[in-house]
Amino acid sequence: MQLTGNGSADDSEQRGRLRHAAVGWMGLPLAVALGSLVVGVPAASATERGVEAKAVEVDQGPWARGDAPPLLELEQFFRDPQHAAGRISPDGDYVALLSAHEGAMNLHLMERGAPLESARPLTAEERSIMGFFWSRDGRYLIFARDRDGDENLELRAIALEDATDADDLPESRKLAGGDGVQARVLHVPRATPDTIFVGLNERDPRLHDVYRVSLETGDKTRVAKNTHEIEGWRFHEGELRKAVRTTDAAGTEILRVKS
């Protein structure tokens, strides 16, 4: 892998300030300007318009009479929802979602159009699933988990065939990450739906190398070794094209990747 070019974002700082200024002018300063315009042209009074002003009694509700508003339990602001993150399969036949199971938000599956009560669990993790997605061809569900909040995300895959045929929890296979290694999903190409691109900090905890991972076998192939302090990678349909890093001057540098 070769990195070329220096698309430093330092020279775009001035343009950024101009954009912020434009947003600000279209926001609060514009409201202030309109407010000053109203002050500069006094509105006609009710007497001048021939309108009689009348006092109107308004019932301000029980709170105004001294009654205390109802209290909300603190846990209502922090507890998990009953269902979350529903995602339809690429063929439109199934819906995967997160629902409460075994004290955590676990991955569930149901047929499209079926009642929520029919959703059955696919995982029984002690900690809530961190996230999930369908493979491009809909053959796999890929989910992320960590251990005790260490944020070393592990990616695991469940075959849809196993999920629909098994009466018990289907088997999930490890793809990448976990055991002190953090996995980041970088790219899910359409052209090769049986593979995804993942960043792993296995070699250096500070930096993520780029790997191509097979969803069917879990085999990993390193695509790029991060030896240039790269913080982000950009793809186009399975091709690694750009890399992003921060310069010593706190700017952003965009580099072209040559395979």
Tell me what the mean pLDDT of segment 121-130 comes to: 94
CA distance 181 to 176: 8
Cβ–Cβ under 8 Å, residues 120 and 108: yes
Q: How confident is the model at residue 129 (pLDDT cuts 50, 70, 90)?
A: very high
Quickly count helices (H) and strands (E) in the chain. Answer: 3, 16
pLDDT higher than threshold 90 for residue 58: no
* Weakest mean pLDDT among 58-62, 92-96, 100-104, 203-207: 58-62
- What local confidence, expressed as pLDDT, does residue 54 receive? 59
Tell me what the mean pLDDT of segment 69-80 comes to: 84
Tell me what the mean pLDDT of segment 181-200 comes to: 96
Task: Tell me the backbone φ, ψ of residue 39, rounded to 5 degrees.
Answer: -65, -35
CA distance 119 to 127: 19
Structural domains in the chain, sorted by start: 80-258 (2.120.10.30)
| Chain segment 143-177, per-residue pLDDT in tens | 999 988 889 999 999 999 999 986 789 999 999 99
Please give the model's pTM, rounded to 2 decimal places. 0.70
- What local confidence, expressed as pLDDT, does residue 15 receive? 43
- What local confidence, expressed as pLDDT, does residue 168 receive? 86
Angle at which helices 13-26 and 28-40 cross, to 10°: 40
CA distance 198 to 158: 17
Q: In b/e form, how buried is each residue of 88-121, taking b as 16+ CB within 10 angstroms? A: ebeeeebbbbbbbbeebbbbbbbeeeeeeeebbb
